Amino acid sequence: MNRLRSAPLTCALIGVNLAFFLSEEIFRHLFDSSLFPALALSREGIVGGAWWQLFSHAFLHGNLLHLMVNMAALWFTGPALEEILGSVRYLMLYFGGIVAGGMLQTFSSPASIDLVGASGAVCALLVGFATLFPRLEITALIFFLIPVRMKAATLGWLVVLGSIVFWLFGIEKKVGHMAHLGGAIAGFLICTYFKRRGVLSDLLIASPPIR
């Protein structure tokens, strides 16, 4: 309950993602329709002036597993970053990852595809956290089952290098690896800017409020 009280934006973001997922399921099963044509990110949409797709695509997910993976990662890093950065900077990081990931995936693909998912935002949070606290020891769940102790910087590099390797070798072609990479780059740049601007106090840098 303490975590819920200290992270209202993270809880709200998870709630909005759940609401969009349920709405899509209702539209699909009851009305034989979908939110994807209007809200998923595509090259044609951006060129045609549907600028809202840069943001709206991050609240749609292809299936329940896709949603659960992204929301678990959001809950892993979101509350700590929200408390440390404050509401405005936290949202800058989150939506910066959304836009950067969406743009890189959309315009690096040889063909136009419909992109959905909060992966760009999640990768921005993960790499942003690693940028702020590179030497912090964390426990990451590999495949959500195997606990592995590592430094936060190691997790950040795994996100970046994993995205590049999977994209280069065509592994899981239906996954937006460039969206992951774009979000990761945004997370690094934004949090590097925060650090250089002295946004974080020395106390928080040394001892982040992880619960």
Compute how many other C-beta atoms are within 10 angstroms of the C-beta atom of residue 174.
Answer: 6
Residue 16 has pLDDT above 60, yes or no: yes
User: Tens of pLDDT along 135-145?
Assistant: 999 887 765 56
The pLDDT-based confidence of 205 (bands split at 50, 70, 90) is: low
CA-to-CA separations, 62 to 38, 40, 57, 117, in angstroms, rounded: 15, 10, 11, 7
Cα separation, 188 vs 123, whole angstroms: 10
Distance CA 50, CA 37 (A): 11
Residue-level pLDDT at 211: 45
Task: Give residue-wise pLDDT tens across range 33-92.
Answer: 999 999 999 999 999 999 999 999 999 999 999 999 999 999 989 999 999 999 999 999
Q: Check residue 203 and give its pLDDT.
A: 43
Stretch 109-126: mean pLDDT: 92
Structural domain harbouring 7: 2-205
Find where tokens 């460039």 sit.
178
Count of the separate structural domains present in the chain? 1
CATH number at 201 reads: 1.20.1540.10
User: What is the arithmetic mean of pLDDT over 164-178?
Assistant: 92
Q: Is residue 211 part of a domain?
A: no
Q: In this structure, is residue 56 part of a structural domain? A: yes
Domain-located, residue 210: no
Q: DSSP readout, 100-155?
A: HHHHHHHHHSSS---B--SHHHHHHHHHHHHHH-TT-EEEEEETTTEEEEEEHHHH
Mean pLDDT of 102-109: 93
Token pair of 56 as six digits: 């709206």
